[in-house]
A and B are shown apart, each in its own frame.
Chain A
């Protein structure tokens, strides 16, 4: 295994009129070459802000990246994405790291042809001439499963269905053969049948192109099928990270247990009885000095309300930020 991206202690805040939003509070994780890392967590847990911070895509102001590192380790010498000059960062965006966003309808420019929206990336990063870029774009469109790519090249976004637009977005993201593709809930806005097609497309592309994928989702059901590892986020922090099988078999964080419990089971006879986690997500407007999940946690004890738990190893590649040992049924000792 080779680590290609190493994020350490990322802190991102938004300075809004309502006060400071503590969106991301010290997130660390790594990404291995060619793997699929799923990032799950409730709405507002900081999944998107984490990924957009890495590429400098959060709006500044109101956003501000307070501290952290995001090392591209394959570079020689390794470079920190958070400290690149704007032109250097632009070469990474789209060139080395592709991004697919949630809503394919609003994420494409309505007044430019989709061909144009793909070629501009190719001419910028690969320095292709216009004709070469066009030929390459047509190839890409076919590659992501769009029929009649020569004709479709000249079409505008509104002439495509939602699923087809997401294929276009994917073509944009993979156009320059990036090492990493970040997909921020790429199927949430689509019909269920289309969702499966998009998941399949990602899997095929990964097999053929070998890039690492960071897949942000709410949906633990999808995760089981595609991910190698899972990162669970809560309140702008990492709650748990593990290989996908370990996480489903032996979840170590009470929040992960809750999430898995909330998963509709295919074998369940009564699908209406969805368990959801009690309580509300933490208020990100106040800085916390204790475990963000303590208020909703049935295992919480004094220490959980007084200290922030650090990520600690609990198995091979398995780390959890919790003071309580679910297996032994008692608090952990340091």
Chain B
């Protein structure tokens, strides 16, 4: 277990270093980072002054060391647009994004797991058909289209939910639903197929041969095994939802990190984009690490690597 955890932690640190290197190189690979970051109408003198100020004329290794030591203390320079440090701005947007992804994931879990379980235990039933339909829709409807349709219908026509912003308690419902729908579909499908598969395993026959009650067999012997693939998918999906809500935050004007990213790209605010990219990677890596730990807690084959 300890060795497993340490190796996973090591992998995460390595990956994080890779992300930092990638971001550092990306900005410089296109040639002159100063030209990239300055407005198109800036005079050559301005660009030169900017290059000097940012240290882009120094040797690359030196720049990288500076970049790294900044990164370690969370300093990614000042936002060009706001002229204030970039990282605190990202952090300020974090609660909104976490709320959106969290509510979306919760919806996906609360709807998806029961539907998948019932579907797996009673394949072909009405609930199973509903679940499979939802899984298909969830994974095939483009989310930006769904978002617009929902705004038109539930916000404009029916007036049940605000169409944008984060000002009311129910503002989060529509964007979270749109964000969570593909995950919901995936959870339904995965839960269903896992239940079907586990029910056919030899050890379930053994449990039956011991005369155990069906309820005991489902909860003790089936569900624990179903939880193993579920945990990893939920972890991956949560990371994806935290990092991938740009469209949805933009369409619903949700003041989260995704919206900030969209805006900062428009402003050509490279330090801010960098800070967002690195921060999002960090969050995803942390979630993956947490998932790996949860995985080991459930699955003894990983916990005790004999």
Which A residues fall within an 8 A CB radius of B? 55, 57, 59, 89-95, 98-99, 101, 103, 106-113, 117, 120-121, 124-125, 156, 158-159, 169, 172
Chain B residues positioned under 8 Å from A95 (CB to CB)? 211
Q: Is B224 located at the chain interface by the 8 A CB criterion?
A: yes
Interchain residue pairs with CB less than 8 A apart (6): A90-B212, A94-B212, A106-B203, A109-B206, A113-B300, A159-B306
Q: Is B57 located at the chain interface by the 8 A CB criterion?
A: no
Q: Contact between A111 and B210 (Cβ–Cβ < 8 Å)?
A: no
Shortest Cβ distance from B208 into chain A, in angstroms? 6
Summed over the interface, the residue pairs from A and B with CB atoms below 8 Å come to a total of 82
Q: Is B30 located at the chain interface by the 8 A CB criterion?
A: no
Chain A residues positioned under 8 Å from B216 (CB to CB)? 120
Shortest Cβ distance from B202 into chain A, in angstroms? 4
Partner of B212, one of A59, A103, A110, A124: A124
Task: Give complex CA distance A108, B201 in Å.
Answer: 10
Partner of B213, one of A90, A98, A108, A158: A90
Q: How large is the interface on B (under 10, 10 to 19, 20 to 34, 35 or more residues)?
A: 20 to 34
* B116-148 Cβ-contact flags toward A at 8 Å (1 or 0): 000000000000000000000000000000000
* B276-295 Cβ-contact flags toward A at 8 Å (1 or 0): 00000000000000000000
Chain B residues positioned under 8 Å from A91 (CB to CB)? 211
Shortest Cβ distance from B20 into chain A, in angstroms? 38
Q: Contact between B304 and A156 (Cβ–Cβ < 8 Å)?
A: yes
Partner of A111, one of B205, B206, B213, B228: B228
> In the complex, which residues 187-244 of chain B have their Cβ closer than 8 Å to any Cβ of chain A?
200-203, 205-213, 216, 220-221, 224-225, 228
Q: Contact between A110 and B300 (Cβ–Cβ < 8 Å)?
A: yes
Q: Contact between A156 and B203 (Cβ–Cβ < 8 Å)?
A: no
Question: With A111-B228, A158-B301, A158-B306 as given contacts, are A57 and B205 in contact (CB-CB < 8 Å)?
Answer: yes
Question: With A90-B211, A93-B208, A121-B211 as given contacts, are A103 and B301 in contact (CB-CB < 8 Å)?
Answer: no
Partner of A112, one of B211, B224, B306: B224
Question: With A111-B225, A111-B298, A112-B220 as given contacts, are A57 and B304 in contact (CB-CB < 8 Å)?
Answer: no
Shortest Cβ distance from B209 into chain A, in angstroms? 4
Task: Give complex CA distance A93, B208 in Å.
Answer: 8
Question: With A103-B202, A108-B203, A112-B221 as given contacts, are A159 and B304 in contact (CB-CB < 8 Å)?
Answer: yes
Q: Contact between B225 and A110 (Cβ–Cβ < 8 Å)?
A: yes
Q: Is B262 located at the chain interface by the 8 A CB criterion?
A: no
Q: Is B299 located at the chain interface by the 8 A CB criterion?
A: yes
Task: Give complex CA distance A112, B300 in Å.
Answer: 8
Shortest Cβ distance from A125 into chain B, in angstroms? 7
Contacts beyond the supplied A109-B225, A111-B228: 4 A-B pairs with Cβ under 8 Å:
A110-B225, A111-B298, A120-B210, A120-B216
Chain B residues positioned under 8 Å from A94 (CB to CB)? 209-212
Task: Give complex CA distance A93, B220 in Å.
Answer: 18
Chain A residues positioned under 8 Å from B221 (CB to CB)? 109, 112
Question: With A92-B211, A109-B225 as given contacts, are A172 and B300 in contact (CB-CB < 8 Å)?
Answer: no
Question: With A109-B221, A111-B225, A156-B301 as given contacts, are A101 and B206 in contact (CB-CB < 8 Å)?
Answer: yes
Q: Contact between B201 and A106 (Cβ–Cβ < 8 Å)?
A: yes
Q: Contact between B211 and A156 (Cβ–Cβ < 8 Å)?
A: no
Q: Contact between B202 and A101 (Cβ–Cβ < 8 Å)?
A: yes
Task: Give complex CA distance A121, B208 in Å.
Answer: 10
Q: Contact between B210 and A124 (Cβ–Cβ < 8 Å)?
A: yes
Q: Contact between B210 and A107 (Cβ–Cβ < 8 Å)?
A: no
Q: Contact between A172 and B210 (Cβ–Cβ < 8 Å)?
A: yes
Q: Contact between B203 and A110 (Cβ–Cβ < 8 Å)?
A: yes
Q: Which residue of chain A has the shortest Cβ distance to B205 in the bound complex?
A: A57
Shortest Cβ distance from B120 into chain A, in angstroms? 15
Task: Give complex CA distance A91, B211 in Å.
Answer: 6
Question: With A112-B220, A112-B221, A159-B306 as given contacts, are A107 and B212 in contact (CB-CB < 8 Å)?
Answer: no
Question: With A156-B301, A158-B306, A159-B306 as given contacts, are A107 and B211 in contact (CB-CB < 8 Å)?
Answer: no
Task: Give complex CA distance A113, B303 in Å.
Answer: 13
Shortest Cβ distance from A203 into chain B, in angstroms? 22
Task: Give complex CA distance A121, B212 in Å.
Answer: 7
Question: With A90-B213, A91-B211, A125-B211 as given contacts, are A172 and B206 in contact (CB-CB < 8 Å)?
Answer: yes
